[in-house]
Structure 1
Amino acid sequence: MNIAARRRLQLGLLLGPVTLFLLVFFLIPLGIMVVTSFLTPGLYGGVEWSFYPDNFGRILGFANPEFEEYDPVYIGIFLRSIRIAAMTVGATLLVCYPAAFYISRLPDRWKNFCLFLITLPFFSSLIVRLFVWVMILRPTGLVNNALMATGVISAPLEMIYTDGAIILGMVYVFIPFMFMPIYASIEKLDWRLVQASLDLGAGPIRTFLRIILPLTAPGIAGGSIIVFIPALGNFVVPAVLGGAKVMMLGNLIEGQFLSARNWPFGSALAMMVMAVMLVLLLVYVILSGRRNASAALTA
């Protein structure tokens, strides 16, 4: 066996298990969901094997009124989910970017300890952590009791079951996902360029905008996508901190599959989420390719 054939065999042995896993547990279920989204909902659940595009029309407004009615509530839920996911990205970025800078400048001993603290929430149950936030934010919770005891407010604030509570919970859950890519970019930052910019007369703000921000942009973009995608389809945080007052896409999809038993409509909603994620990933890949090509030409 020649060297090329041996390398192909080694590559096949290395990639074969991963490829098989993705085929069985990702591509095949995804294909089933794509097919189901274009089928007719069964009268008592399940599907009927006939083409039915009105599942998407029910969301986007081109449903056949003989069978379905367009309800703007669904596109409203879709837009609200995008807004909350985008605000979650912005809030996690505001928290993680300065924290990553500070931690990256610490001695190695404290740096490793801080990184351990960042990943510490992964060692406890998500549901338990979210119910702690319920106890903190509810009308008789810690925050309201403290504010009323100090005389700041006279009546409890409505903090639980709001968009703000969901964003707070999302930020709490997804901070490690934003922090790690940003921290990795900052760790690779060449501080000699920063010092040279300052020595040549550029102020701190201009140095940040022209040197630091472009060099750490890949970490910001990667962290934003990693946070936005699961935040858009998350249903655990809205279910616990939003209750029945705040509906998001994840809760709507869950309800269509488990409660309403309208699998085609639930699949159509899931496909729209997948479409948004695919567009974001394509934009990220295109921008990364252009940035790498520009860096290669500059070099």
Structure 2
Amino acid sequence: MLRRWLKANALLAPTGLWLGFFLIAPLVVVVEFSFATRHTGIARAVLPWTVQAYRTALDPAFLPIFGRTLLYAGATTAACLLLGFPLAWFIARYGGRYRTALLAAVLIPFWSSYLARIYAWKALLDGEGLVNTVLGWVGLDRDGGFLLSDGAVVLGLTYGFLPFMVLPLYVACERFDVRLVEASYDLGHGRVSTFFRVVLPGVMSGVLAGSLLVLVPAAGDFVTPRLLGGVEQSTFGSVIDDQFRGGNNWPLGSAMAVLLLVLVVFLLVVRGRRGEDVL
């Protein structure tokens, strides 16, 4: 019995060491800095202990930024779900022998740098970019283009995280028993009723997994709001980045990062309980 236990833990040791060194240790440092007094020297930034950074982070002045972050993350998740579900259903049910190629097409954007892709969208949405030029042909162009707007940020986030929604939805749709749809039609249900009563509950695990995979990184993303938005489109992630770089306020940035982490953990707990209810 002891020998089996030692073998099992020996198999887990490399992963445990990796997570401990590259995940737990940096997290402990961030939490430590969140209770520090602001100093310019990194070595002195851990003493004395104080909760001033958390008081500042929870100041009502940051509430609009926090609300905007949740709004962007929620809108991105909804957009990815609306776009990703039909695509995942089509690949799972009608892809046939081309399923692998279609899934590879979904993953093609990951073959290039995320930063380069966002810069490409910046060029497309600029005043002289392709989007504004094409819309100008029908009189829908806009002075200065579509940069520095909420729509540009949500568009960039949706483009960046859409594959995270498609892949778990594809797995759920592939496992879904399509005979349940036929049975629902035989029992007199229409398309809308069948979707909400049969299909959606049947693939809810994929919906929850994909929503979580999109919501969490979208809430912490700072590259997209910085490149496609402006000061009015600042998010919690971009403010954290400012504190660690230009603002030189590591305790405040760490406190904001911890608060964002607490929100993520809360979402994980809610998702876990919701998943148990669905199953």
The interval holding the TM-score normalised by the smaller chain is over 0.9
Aligned CA distance change for structure 1 residues 163 and 9 (closer, same or farther; 3 Å): same
- Check the 8 A contact 2:153/2:228 in 1, yes or no: yes
| Alignment TM-score, normalising by the size of structure 1 | 0.88
Cα–Cα, structure 1 residues 171 and 155, in superposed 2: closer, same or farther, change >3 Å?
closer
Match for residue 5 of structure 2 among 4, 8, 15: 8
Determine the structure 2 residue equivalent to 1:246. 233
Instruction: Please give the secondary structure, in 1, of the residue aligned with 2:128.
Output: coil
Cα displacement (A) at 1:10 = 2.7
1:38 aligns with 2:35: yes
Pick the aligned partner of 2:128 from 117, 137, 140: 140
Query: Is the 1:59–1:75 Cα contact (8 Å) retained in structure 2?
Result: no
What does residue range 1-299 of structure 1 map to in structure 2 within 5 Å? 4-42=1-39, 47-61=45-59, 72-148=60-136, 150-153=137-140, 156=143, 158-292=145-279
Question: Is the 1:40–1:50 contact (alpha carbons within 8 Å) kept by the matching residues of 2?
Answer: yes
Query: Contact between 2:65 and 2:234, CA under 8 Å: does it hold in 1?
Result: yes
In structure 2, stretches of 5+ residues that fail to align are: none
Q: What letter corresponds to residue 202 of structure 2 in structure 1?
A: L
Alignment coverage as a number of residue pairs: 278
SS at 1:40 equivalent: coil
> Deviations for 1:95-133, whole angstroms, at most 9, x for unmatched residues?
001111111122432222111100111111212211111
TM score, norm. by length of structure 2 = 0.94
Deviations 1:26-45 (CA, angstroms, capped at 9, x unpaired): 11111121122112112666
Give 1 or 2 for the bigger CA radius of gyration: 1
Mark the CA change 1:151 to 1:122 in structure 2 (over 3 Å): closer, same or farther. closer
Q: 1:69 is matched with which residue?
A: none
Q: Residue 245 of structure 1: CA displacement?
A: 4.4
Secondary structure at the counterpart of residue 75 of structure 2:
helix
Q: How far apart are the structure 1 equivalents of 2:32 and 2:142?
A: 52
- Tell me the SS of whatever aligns to 1:49: coil
CA distance in 2 between counterparts of 1:81 and 1:13 reads: 42
Contact kept? 1:41, 1:263, Cα under 8 Å? yes
Distance in 2, Cα, partners of 1:260 & 1:156: 32
Please state how far the C-alpha of 1:135 moved relative to its aligned partner.
1.4
Q: Work out whether residues 39 and 264 of structure 1, in 8 Å CA contact, stay in contact via their aligned partners in 2.
A: yes
By how many angstroms is 1:73 displaced?
3.1
- 2: distance between equivalents of 1:87 and 1:151? 27
- The CA distance in 2 between the partners of 1:48 and 1:126, in whole Å, is 34
Distance 1:277 1:200 in 2: 42
1:9 positional shift: 2.7
CA distance in 1, matches of 2:98, 2:47: 60
Instruction: Write the letter of the residue equivalent to 1:235.
Output: F
Unaligned runs of 5+ in 1: 62-71, 293-299
CA displacement 1:186-206 (0-9 Å, x = unmatched): 111011222111111122211
